[in-house]
Structure 1
Amino acid sequence: MQEERKKLFDTAVALYKTGLSVIPVTQDKKPLVKFKDIRPDFKTVTNIIRASRDCMIAVKTEDFFVIDVDTDKGTSHANGFEEFNKIPTELLPATLSQTTASGGKQYFYLKRNDIQLNKMLNIGAGIDIKAQRNNFVVIAPSIRHGRPYRWDNHNPITTAPKELIKYLNQKSSKSKKGSNYVNNWQPIGGKTYTGRTLEELLTSSQQGRRNLDMTSFVGKILRHGVDPYMAYELVQIKNEHNAPPLDDGELNTIFNSILKTELERRAVNG
């Protein structure tokens, strides 16, 4: 076994022993074993790697997800770094990353139990999120068409900040890709007041406008008779779409202040 193949084999064995689902794949990234909803058999995986001269290894994204940033030389033929660089740096703590065979980057983050990633994540051309349990990602030291995957560092995989998950979910919901029926939608007669308010509920505020926008939103829904308990739940939903969200103390101060003002207004007006 050549040195490169031995290194690949040893890596597969080590990863399998940690509990990861290791998948041998072809140069076209086609799986060589069954893997959906199961963990591939260790003996089958290692036998394939031994027998193959050019297979690569991949791991399933079961407990982690990957931000996959492509270059215009990759399969998407788009420069994903333009979109990736829009992600606020404070949302991207240092973590394990690798350089792909095409020169792209992949950043590994552990999933969270308190917030889930959307099932269909598409946040821009040249950037993909591999997160579902039956997704997989090719890893170093695989070699594809003569070009290697290389680890950038030896960092542990960091747990994704909650704000990063919210940001990715929000970006994916605004993606222009998808159904033509959605992209061609035009409201008849313009948006209603209710429609504008519902859109405002799910619209992120820029960091310098979060307090102002939240104050306006709280006042609007309270003036239109929304029950305070339900209003507070709506406020929390809106805050989750901010990147980063207001902290609980600040959010409570805004809500209680506007609620007090609304109660005083009603008392004066009878």
Structure 2
Amino acid sequence: MNELTQRALLLANQGFQVFPLEANSKRPLTEHGYKDASDNPAQIHEWFDNQQHHNIGLRLDTKQIVVIDIDHHQHGNGIDVLKQWQRQGMKLVPDYAEQTPHAGLHYFFSSQTVLADTVIVPNIELKTKQIIIAPSRIDGKAYHPIKGRDLVDLSPLPAWLMNKLAGQSSANNWHQDGLYKSWTGQLLDELVTGTEQGQRNIYLTSVLGKLLRTGCDSDTAHILLVFANEHLTPPLPSREINTIFKSILKRDSRRGDKTIGR
């Protein structure tokens, strides 16, 4: 029995539900993604006890678990934000934490309050439905625990962060200064909110069209399109994203030519 199967069975024995992700990926293998998660040993053996090297996804919402996903990459460093919060007395101290293959962090907490996936600040997100978990591997590197041994009896999400999230929710479409959220602000929210599986192509086409209407560079639009796709369950394959991008870019280019010719 391989390491992935052992971990998946251990999680199931503790009452958690898991689901398979593609090898070297966060993309779900099953049609309904995390909604297909199971704690059935036979199903787990079928998914993981093979030579496919599937990664493990953990369903969060059925166990009232949330994850603070802290990115650490060339475009931004959420760990610096953590340090800033700590200096201000706002500490995040999980009972269980993992390091990601690219030096990011996953902090696991419990929450009796039903929360939604959201970007807390740039490079720090709240995950409430699903998460990739150790010993999954990306680019040859594994997710691995750095604190705690299991997900049982997690400490609750800190009150200060709950208050911050509640403030973001109550603000809804309003800025802190009381002004109604701009069209661009609503578009940024749309990038994170996502859509249902059957609407992914329509949603991403719409998002890309709106992005290009902001006047941003095509490279910027492509980066944000990929970002929006990564927040879908499951994401579309990269080749479909590239097809959407090229199609809309070509369409908008034709429109520009017509305008110039008038």
TM-score using structure 1 length:
0.54
Matched residue of 1:152: which SS?
strand
Structure 2: where are the runs of 5+ without partners?
Answer: 176-180, 187-262
Q: What displacement does 1:92 show?
A: 2.2
Structure 1 residues 24 and 103 mapped into 2: Cα distance closer, same or farther (>3 Å)?
A: same
2-side partners of 1:30 and 1:42: how far apart?
Answer: 22
Q: Which residue of 1 aligns with 2:203?
A: none
Deviates more, 1:166-175 or 1:139-148: 166-175
Q: Which residue of 2 aligns with 1:66?
A: 67
Q: Which residue of 2 aligns with 1:181?
A: 183
How many residue pairs align between the two structures?
Answer: 169
Matched residue of 2:67: which SS?
strand
Q: Which residue of 2 aligns with 1:243?
A: none
2-side partners of 1:102 and 1:29: how far apart?
Answer: 14
Q: Which residue of 1 aligns with 2:10?
A: 14
Amino acid at match of 2:82: F
Retained in 1: the 8 A contact 2:90–2:160? Answer: no
Alignment of 1:64-213 (within 5 A): 64-72=65-73, 77-88=75-86, 89-112=89-112, 115-117=113-115, 119-131=116-128, 135-154=129-148, 157-170=154-167, 180-181=182-183, 183=185
Amino acid at match of 1:110: S
Q: What displacement does 1:48 show?
A: 2.0
1-side partners of 2:35 and 2:54: how far apart?
Answer: 22
Q: Which residue of 2 aligns with 1:220?
A: none
Q: What displacement does 1:38 show?
A: 5.0
Name whichever structure is richer in strand by fraction.
2
Q: What displacement does 1:127 show?
A: 1.2
Structure 1: where are the runs of 5+ without partners?
Answer: 185-270
- Percent of aligned pairs sharing the same letter: 22
Retained in 2: the 8 A contact 1:98–1:151? Answer: yes
1-side partners of 2:71 and 2:26: how far apart?
Answer: 16
Runs of 4+ residues over 6 Å off in structure 1: none
2-side partners of 1:101 and 1:66: how far apart?
Answer: 16
Retained in 1: the 8 A contact 2:34–2:57? Answer: no
Q: Per-residue displacement from partner, 1:104-159 (whole Å, max 9, x unpaired)?
A: 011000012xx443x3521222111101xxx2111111222210111002265212
Q: What displacement does 1:43 show?
A: 2.3
Retained in 1: the 8 A contact 2:117–2:125? Answer: no
Amino acid at match of 2:77: N
1-side partners of 2:111 and 2:166: how far apart?
Answer: 13
Matched residue of 2:66: which SS?
strand
Matched residue of 1:53: which SS?
coil
Matched residue of 1:54: which SS?
coil
2-side partners of 1:31 and 1:148: how far apart?
Answer: 17
Bigger Rg, structure 1 or 2: 1
Alignment of 1:35-50 (within 5 A): 35-37=33-35, 39-40=37-38, 41-50=40-49
Aligned-residue CA RMSD (Å) = 2.8
Retained in 2: the 8 A contact 1:22–1:57? Answer: yes
Q: Which residue of 2 aligns with 1:29?
A: 26
Retained in 2: the 8 A contact 1:71–1:81? Answer: yes
Matched residue of 1:46: which SS?
helix
Matched residue of 2:44: which SS?
helix
Q: Which residue of 1 aligns with 2:245?
A: none
Q: What displacement does 1:91 show?
A: 4.3
2-side partners of 1:38 and 1:142: how far apart?
Answer: 18
Matched residue of 1:123: which SS?
strand
